[in-house]
Structure 1
Amino acid sequence: MLSPLAPGAARSATTPQVTDILPSGVPLPPPTPVEVQPSDDPTTELLGNAGGVRPWLARHGIRINVQDVEELWGLAAGGLHPGPTYDGMTAVTLMVDTERSLGWRDGLLNISALQIRGRSLTGERLGALNTASGYDAGRSTRLFELWYGQGFFNDRLDIRVGSIDLDTEFLVSQNASFFLNASFGWPLSTSSNLYSGGPSWPFSALGARAKWMPIDQLVLMGAITDDNPTRGPFYSTIAPTQRDPSGTAFSTSGGTLFIGEAQFSGDVARWTAGKDAPSLPGTWKVGGLYDTGRFPDQRYDSRGGLLASPDSTGQPLYHHDNWMLYVVADQMIWRAAKGSNETINVFMRATTNDGSRNRFATEIQGGVTFDGLVPGRGDDTIGVAWGTGFYGSRAIGNARDAMRLGTSLAGALKPEQHVEVTYQAAVTPYLILQPDFQYFWHVGGTSFDPQTGHPIANGVVLGLNLTTTF
């Protein structure tokens, strides 16, 4: 959402954020309650003017952005198998302003691609539900998004059509995006309850998105996409990135996903302390999604018996349709002085949905970021965040059935909780270094390791993220 509270803010039809290429939990840029467009200053990128190539391309309406992420992770204690892992990603975005290139006003063509590498700390060592990093997404080299956007009515209305990703615009908290744990971007409530996690990084789906700003403080958004970006079944032993390794499946199978969101922005300080008080902007969102696809029951099989029974068919009963509602709040609560970059911001996000066909029925997250408060490091940010997801009633019932019938070693379900403490250091305008600490309770959301029946100790994760903008 492009807030009028950001000076010189431009509408998305003409200059979308280059960070749209990244998962919604990203280390760039420092968090703010309002969305600010990235600078066109070439000194903020490692290659600068690239020997004059960038200015020449800009005159023709072409902008190329390259971002590289390198991460080292280590499971220091608990989980499944303590030890280190590496993951990385390189993202390339090509944006064409059609007014400069073709004389077609307020149009934008966007093409992006990803190269994802490394191993999964969460899957191979930790065993958690909430993935420690948003870049832990399965190795592949793939097309990400391919869409055309057109602005209307002085860009008050913006339409995108093509293969689009939803998690950089919908269900997003700008302050939560500072954190590295993937759940602070696209949460469990969608990544676990939708086919292949839904149209979210690193996947996109065919569809259309409309964004309308009827007044400066209000944005209304809606999108319609295919609900199954990789065409796979709901349960599969094949990873989604293996089913569609190139990102060119352009699936039209399965159901249709509808999502809508209303965003309101305002300045709390002006409401409570007058126009001369230091600005305290905030953005509050309410939204929901509806999916016409078929979703598996969490307790009963295709004949109406218990899935946990030794006599079960092993195939769940499928229901038509699914839904979810959510609220998101980003609020600056303190500013050192008028216009100061020394701020404290908080965020909160909550989701709810149907407990019969969704493993996770409720999710809550919250956190606080401290921006510019480290002496001598005005561009650095410190953050602390917590999150948990609660199982639906039928998932809980299924676990109890399995214990009673002796068909599982996992024991009772317990909500996995995780806390993250992280520090973002702006080494240069184009180089961000972010050490990270995460602690997990009830790893995997179960009482015991389902493979061995042994208790799983709480997980201690240490990480380091290095992000470079070229």
Structure 2
Amino acid sequence: MKAFLPQALRFVTPTCLLATGLGAALLASTVPSWAATVPLATDILPSGVPLPVPAPSFVRPPEDSSTELLGHAGGARDWLARQGVSLTIQDVEEIWGLPAGGTQRGATYDGMTAAALMLDTQPLFGLKNGLFNISALQIRGRSFTAERLGALNTVSGYDAGRSTRLFELWYEQGFLNNHLNVRVGSLDLDTEFLVSQNASFFLNSSFGWPLSTSSNLYSGGPSWPFSALGGRIKWTPAQPLVLMGAITDDNPTQGPFYSTISPTERDPSGTTFSTHGGVLFMGEAQLWLDMARQLAGPDAPALPGTWKLGGLYDTGRFPDQRYDANGTLLASPDSSGAPYYHHGNWILYAVIDQMIWRKAKNSGKTINFFARAIAANQTRNQFAFEIQSGFTFDELLPDRPDDTIGIAWGTSLYSAQARHYAQDSVRLGTSQPYSLTPEHHFELTYQAAVTPYLIVQPDFQYFMHVGGTTQDPTTGKRIHNGVVAGLNITTTF
């Protein structure tokens, strides 16, 4: 994913730097006409994001429509670009198979088509550093994880409910030479917050918006494929440091915390624009640094890294994991079944993205490491701790300079209240004997650049303790470890 990849894909690492604010100070002098956080096409992808070789600085590349399937579209793209208009369309096709374990062997298809329109306000209206963005999704297929695997962590970010929907709709304005910019509208927070650049390369959805947030927040929070009304501010007080904060509605689909109706069924068009429920506050501090030059001096090969600390606080009402509204154990036959609701909830996290080896100065042959740790409130959340880690290898294979290989692992640990509920259920005889145990998932993936606009990614995943239990609490039967094989094909038009 270097010079061989299309414009929209091969610069996704700079895109991630932009999306997280790490290149804002550098970008301010190189792209004066665009707001500091211009999203490229890959910001709309929840997983399987291509990774070019990281660089210690960012220079926005020139537009090159010839690297996309439709090319210059008879000159239409070039004309639109002169007017400040950019349109990107991406298509993702996936097939997943379960040769062993899980609940039902077989294969399942899912897919997505995404379109994003961006308007630069300077050529259109003479307003410098303004950007309008609107995007939409068409999600299709069936859920492999729900129907065949039974795991807590879905095998792909595209393993979502079928819908044709609005994704994001916002306006952003840059100030102070783009060292400060403000975005307002309907926002998807997982394109900027809690992001690990290298983790996003993997297909399992937990490496994007993790289980700790998707299961502990209403409708999974403002995360793909949902967005929520709110605003985000980003400030670069000094070149290595970026500070971000966001305030949004905490319930994108306006539903209860527990529901038999899926979030995509509740809001199939993405136009609910909910103001129901609580307010979600999210903040993050980010530090960009070059470890090699810090330790070995300016002549050492660059080893860029990104280190982040962040957290969120939700003012909404969250169910206790063990007790009902009357103070009775939820697992008791005498329980009303309606949990006690607490006011407020918090989650904290840390993210490291670090290049740890480079063959030579300016070489594209690199090894990159990532780690992400998450902690959450023990009484309100089913999962209190989560950790993911992995490596990506660029230019590892001879004669394949544009390909990347990755290996990663992740797990989520239950909160004390959730474990106590399981023990209560067995002790009081309201379920088959079982205990909660962390689900572990491993992923080995290979991303190949077949053409400048076509990415093919075969993928292998292995799940231990599928569903996070020793056995199914409703049947008492054990769910065997899952072996998953898949293929992702992404095309940029």
The Cα of 1:137 is off from its aligned counterpart by: 1.1
Cα distance in 2 for partners of 1:6, 1:307 equals 54
Call closer, same or farther: CA 1:124–1:101 in 2, change over 3 Å: same
Whether contact under 8 Å (2:56, 2:303) holds in the other structure is: no
- Give the Cα–Cα distance (whole angstroms) in 2 for the partners of residues 200 and 86 of structure 1: 22
Q: 2 CA distance for matches of 1:356 and 1:31?
A: 42
Q: 2:412 aligns with which of 389, 394, 397?
A: 389
Does the 8 A contact of 1:74 with 1:83 survive in 2? yes
Q: Which runs of 5+ in 2 are unaligned?
A: 1-16
Letter in 2 for 1:240: P
Identity level (%): 68
Residue by residue, what CA displacement relative to the aligned partner does 1:275-317 show, whole Å, maximum 9, x if unpaired?
1111000000000000000000000011001000111100000
Distance, in Å, in 1 between the alignment partners of 2:312 and 2:483 is 34
Following the alignment from structure 1 to structure 2, what is the Cα–Cα distance between the partners of residues 286 and 62? 35
2:5 corresponds in structure 1 to none
Structure-2 change in CA distance of 1:316 and 1:187 (3 Å): same
Q: Deviations over 1:160-195 (max 9, x none)?
A: 000000001000000000000000000011000000
Report what 1:336 is aligned to.
359
- In the other structure, the counterpart of 2:399 is 376
Alpha-carbon contact 2:285-2:309 (below 8 Å) kept: yes
Q: Aligned partners of 2:341 and 2:454: how far apart in 1?
A: 48
Aligned-partner SS, 2:200? helix
Q: How far apart are residue 13 of structure 1 and its match? A: 3.8
Given candidates 287, 295, 307, the residue that maps to 2:318 is: 295
Distance 2:406 2:53 in 1: 10
Give 3-state SS (helix, strand or coil) of 1:346's partner.
Answer: strand
User: Match for residue 202 of structure 2?
Assistant: 179
Instruction: Return 430-439 or 26-35, whichever deviates more.
Output: 26-35
Partner of 2:421: 398
1:272 aligns with 2:295: yes
Are residue 114 (structure 1) and residue 137 (structure 2) matched?
A: yes
State the SS of the aligned residue for 1:414.
Answer: coil
Looking at structure 2, the residues matched to 192 and 267 of structure 1 have their Cα atoms a distance apart, in angstroms, of 35
- 1:116–1:140 CA contact under 8 A, matched in 2: yes
SS in 1 for 2:363: coil
1:200 corresponds, among 205, 223, 226, to 223
Which of 82, 93, 96 is the matching residue for 1:59?
A: 82
TM-score, normalised by the number of residues in structure 2: 0.93
Aligned pair 1:461/2:484, yes or no? Answer: yes
Unpaired runs of at least 5, structure 1: none
Q: Which residue, 289, 300, 311 being the options, matches 2:334? A: 311
The equivalent position to 1:239 in structure 2, one of 262, 265, 286, is 262
Partner of 1:431: 454
SS of the aligned residue for 1:203 comes to coil
On the 8 A contact 1:13/1:149 being kept in 2, the answer is no
Q: Judge conservation of contact 2:56–2:302 (CA < 8 Å) in 1.
A: no
Q: What is the SS of the residue equivalent to 1:235?
A: coil
TM (normalized to structure 1)? 0.97
Does the 8 A contact of 1:157 with 1:210 survive in 2? yes
Change (3 A) 1:338 1:400: same
Q: What is aligned with 1:448?
A: 471
Contact 2:286 2:307 in 1 (8 A): yes
Instruction: Describe how 1:155-234 pairs up with structure 2 within 5 A.
Output: 155-234=178-257
Computed over aligned residues only, the root mean square deviation of the Cα atoms, in angstroms, reads 1.6
Q: Secondary structure at the match of 2:463?
A: strand
Does the aligned pair in 1 maintain the 2:56–2:290 contact within 8 Å? no
Aligned mate of 2:48, from 26, 30, 41: 26
